[in-house]
A and B are shown apart, each in its own frame.
Chain A
Amino acid sequence: MVMIEVTGLTYYYPLSHTPALKEINLQIEAGQFVAVIGANGAGKSTLCLVLSGLIPTLFNGRMLGNVTINSMNTRNHTPGEFAGRVGLVLQNPTNQISEMRYTVFEEVAFGLENLGVSPSEMPERIEHVLRLTGLIDLRDRSPFTLSGGQRQRLALASMLVLDPPVLVLDEPTAMLDPQGSREVFHIIQTLTTKNTTVVITEHNLEWIAQTADRVIALNKGSIVLDGNPEFVLTSPLLETFGIDYLRYTQAARESQIYGLWPSQTPLPVTLEQSVLGFNRVSSIKKGGG
């Protein structure tokens, strides 16, 4: 089943003559886990706003083409109607916290209240996501006293509690340490097993290589690569779009020149693939001299 469909999308921000997104056509299946990569300014965050239905209704600007999320055309529905259907976690969590609630617990309850969830159902759902996101001990703290990483988890918790079928995450781990990132990655992986559709922009390519079903690379507002992680992350074009290779891929790319990577083997995107490839060359040399 197609969950998100984008046809002929071009979008200009107000007062801008250069489109932030250009002629985008895209179909995302329900339950798919899609990573969007690209240099800064390529259009990643704008695409997140489009895929969560905030563009075009909340932003002025000019949009050509159509976007449907769960069969709802985003031109015809307000952001309020998408609440609970699409969760969006913004790059800067401070922009997302309501500033109307005094505790972490109440902040997470805010979305449920707006959707009219019955008060008796709330505590259990809230405590569940607070535990999931490692915030349970901070439940009575004011959101304003949280660190950047904790706020990022609070923004995520506020979306998770609504249990939306589509979740759009714009660099959800930018402020987290490696341990915190691992925890968030783990949460997201759990979601994909529950058939939640996930779209994420993320700089940690190693994790994307291991977990994403599909990677989309943007350059200057256009989709330039679209496929599985192996295909996109090893593309000879990646560098020209201002996107770095994984160090594993880079090491194998340069090793090829010296005959240190086996000629018929695709470039690696994981540690395991790298180890296999490099060891293959060693064993060939041992056997053949």
Chain B
Amino acid sequence: MRICAENIHFTYPGNVKVLDNISVTLNPGEKVALIGANGSGKTTFARHLNGLLRPQSGTVWVGDWKTSEHSPAQLAQRVAYVFQNPDEQLFRQRVWDEVAFGPQNLGYSASQVENMVEQALSLMGLTNEANFNPRDLNYSGRKRVSLASALAMQTPVLIFDEPTASLDMKEKKQFSKVLKTLNLENKTTLIISHDMDFVVENVDRIILMYEGKMIHDTSTKHFFKDKELIENSGLVIPQLIRLSQELNHLDLALNVEQFIKERERIITTIKTE
């Protein structure tokens, strides 16, 4: 499902301008990362996509719906949103019930709900914790419950706010797999993240926000070419890209495989010279 923001503005009470004329389209099957410093407007923008906030001017389209004409409950059929802090979103006594809450509210039958829940729990590696109280899990466990709750709704659009914060290696790999599956199902996914090493390996397109504006929007491959822009925005360039730059690679590596390919190419060129 396509998401389209047209010239949106948003100012919080006290005249704090947070979104300044944003226009952007997110396409079906696209994995997009939204990055930028704390306070640049990332979360405020994302909250416009599920109707938690409405633009003060401009329009946000979710498919053929304007967010201004639909309630957040209606928009939940199309957009799932995972908060940065899982504790803001978990409230049931059992992991299974928590994950079932979304599909139940969307009006699915009991057997459909069961299927959706089992699938989401298995995707997030929580099958054995189904009967636990979410509060008895550690932080990353609660985080995975909140991710499973969003997946269970099987919406065409998913928004993840800092999904990998406090996940360890294994859990990140698991989440990376989930993103690939969503991609195969042609879902639109938006990830807000500071985890640049994760971002470069997992998205197709990166949008940089700075003081309420989207100042850079391009494919992951091209995003880091403008080194100065990235550093001036307070961001960290991912390790492999920095290494590629230092070694004067023509091709900036997004993952280890690409890096090795470029090294091999260079060494072969040296040998033939």
A interface residue numbers (CB < 8 A to B)? 39-41, 91-92, 147-149, 171, 174-180, 203, 206, 239, 242-244, 246-248, 250-251, 254-255, 258, 260, 271, 274-275, 278-279, 281-282, 285-286, 289
Q: Which residues from A are CB-within-8-Å of B247?
A: 275, 278-279
User: Once bound together, how far apart are the Cα atoms of A239 and B168, in whole Å?
Assistant: 11
Give the A-B pair count, Cβ closer than 8 A. Answer: 104
Chain B window 178-205, contacts with chain A (Cβ cutoff 8 Å), 1 for yes, 0 for no: 0000000000000000101100000000
Which residues does chain B contribute within 8 Å of A279, judged by CB atoms? Answer: 247
How far is A149 from B170 in the complex, measured between Cα atoms in Å? 25
Would A258 and B240 count as touching, CB distance under 8 A? no
B215: Cβ under 8 A from any A Cβ? no
Q: Given A41-B138, A148-B85, A244-B169 in contact, is the A178-B267 Cβ separation under 8 Å?
A: no
Smallest CB-CB A-B distances: 7 pairs:
A179-B234, A247-B239, A244-B169, A178-B236, A40-B140, A39-B168, A177-B38
Nearest chain A residue, comparing its CB with the CB of B170: A242
> Are B85 and A275 touching (Cβ within 8 A)?
no
- Whole-angstrom distance between the alpha carbons of A282 and B259 in the complex? 15
> Chain B interface mostly helix, strand, loop or mixed?
helix
Q: Mark B197-241, 1 if CB is under 8 A from A, else 0.
A: 100000000000000000000000000000000000011101110
Which residues does B use to contact A, with CB under 8 Å?
36-39, 84-85, 138-141, 165-172, 194, 196-197, 234-236, 238-240, 242-243, 246-247, 253, 256, 259-260, 263-264, 266-267, 270-271
Please tell me if the beta carbons of A39 and B169 are within 8 angstroms of each other in the complex. Answer: yes
B167: which A residues are within 8 A, CB to CB?
40
B246 near A275: Cβ-Cβ < 8 Å: yes
Which residues of B lie under 8 Å from residue A149 when comparing CB positions? 38
Let me know if A176 and B169 touch, CB within 8 A: no
A260-B270 Cα distance, complex, nearest whole Å: 13
| Extra A-B contacts (10), CB below 8 Å, given A242-B170, A275-B246 | A41-B138, A177-B194, A178-B194, A242-B168, A248-B243, A251-B240, A255-B260, A271-B243, A275-B247, A282-B266
Identity of the chain A residue whose Cβ is nearest the Cβ of B253 in the assembled complex = A251
What is the minimal beta-carbon distance from A36 to any residue of chain B, in angstroms?
Answer: 13
Evaluate contact between A206 and B239: CB separation under 8 angstroms.
yes
> Known contacts A91-B139, A250-B256, A260-B263; is A179 also within 8 Å of B166 by CB?
no
B238 contacts which chain A residues (CB < 8 A)?
A: 247
Q: In whole angstroms, what is the CA distance A289 to B269 when docked?
A: 11
